[in-house]
Amino acid sequence: MLELTLAEWNTVLEKHPTAHLLQSGEWGELKSAFGWDPVRMVSGGTNAQILFRRLPLGLTFAYIPKGPVNVDGSALADVQFWKEVDALCRSRKSIFLKVEPNQWVSASDPEPAVPPPGFVFSPQHVQPRSTLIIDLHGSEDEVFNRMKPKTRYNIRVAGRKEVVVHPSDDIENFYRVMTVTGQREEFHVHSQEYYRRAYELFYPIGMCELFVADFQGRTLATLIVFAHGKQAYYFSAMGSHPLGARPGL
């Protein structure tokens, strides 16, 4: 097993364009500012960024969000890899390891992945279990025409009403809207400093953009879009909470 630096880890991920954002080195750096310890490890052809949360009495718990990562998707069956993960977790006095793989379950293939030896399925989850995927191939008109009629109608109405969407760096305004929305929709909202740190880490390297929708000078909505590899991500709330605040990352 090799433990990699941030730069070495990001070089490894260049070979995995479908790796999830939560396995990016920058995400580990974000979490390290808020009580987590990222360890990036390589064993054979399997790779993982493991987050360790510090607990009292020198204990920790370990979490692999949307990983591990390898070329052929067989990471969960890599017995040697899991032995080395187990040794690492024991050396850091982890009381348990939670793994949420970046694998899909669809209506046509409803069988969940087989857990690695020694693991059991958990009814608790940190990341949302359902997501929507939008195909962005093609022109803007082609993407628009693939949307549902009601969605197209709402976009046209917003255009006629002169709702303006533009990039912004106003984290304070973003946080204000997030707080109001989180209270209404009952989802977890992090501190303003958390969102500011995320923006400072991801924006300068082209991995995120903050957008604001305004109407006559009044903010209607805000969101942060992330990009990593071949995917872009929109989350209702960023960051993860130990043992499963929802929804969000």
100, 131, 160 - which closes a domain? 100
pLDDT reported for residue 74: 79
Whether the per-residue pLDDT at 240 is higher than 70: the answer is no
- pLDDT tens string 46-66: 999 999 999 999 999 999 999
Give start and end residues of each alpha helix (H) in the chain. 6-13, 25-32, 79-91, 140-145, 149-160, 171-185, 192-202
Look at 240 and 156; give whichever has higher pLDDT.
156
Tell whether 122 is covered by a domain. Answer: no
Residue 75 has phi, psi (to 5 degrees) of -60, -40
| pLDDT at position 245 | 34
Residue 243's pLDDT is 33
The pLDDT assigned to 204 comes to 97
Residue type, 12: V
- Domain total for the chain? 2
Instruction: Look at residue 127 and tell me if it is in a domain.
Output: no
Residue type, 130: S
Q: What is the pLDDT of residue 168?
A: 96
In a domain, 151, yes or no: yes
Q: Cα-atom radius of gyration of the chain, to the nearest Å? A: 20
Do 148 and 91 belong to one domain?
A: no
Look at residue 239 and tell me whether its pLDDT is greater than 60.
no
Rounded Cα–Cα distance for residues 6 and 75 (Å): 21
What's the average model confidence in pLDDT over 131-143? 90
Please indicate, yes or no, if residue 107 is contained in any of the structural domains.
no
- Whether residue 9 is found in the same domain as residue 95: yes
Q: Is 184 a domain residue? A: yes
**Single residue among 69, 100, 131 that ends a domain in this structure:** 100
Determine the pLDDT at residue 186: 82
Computed over every residue of the chain, the mean pLDDT equals 88
The domain boundary residue, chosen from 52, 79, 100: 100
Q: Looking at residue 168, which CATH number applies to its domain?
A: 3.40.630.30
pLDDT of residue 207: 96
Q: Are residues 11 and 91 in the same domain?
A: yes
Task: Look up the domain containing 158 and give its range.
Answer: 140-234
Question: Are 7 and 76 within one domain?
Answer: yes
Q: Is residue 81 part of a domain?
A: yes
129 inside domain:
no
**Same domain for 164 and 224?**
yes
pLDDT of residue 221: 92
- What predicted TM-score, i.e. pTM, was given to this entire model? 0.87
- For the stretch 149-200, pLDDT in tens is 999 999 999 999 999 999 999 999 999 999 998 888 888 889 999 999 999 9
% residues pLDDT > 90 (the chain): 67
pLDDT at 43: 92
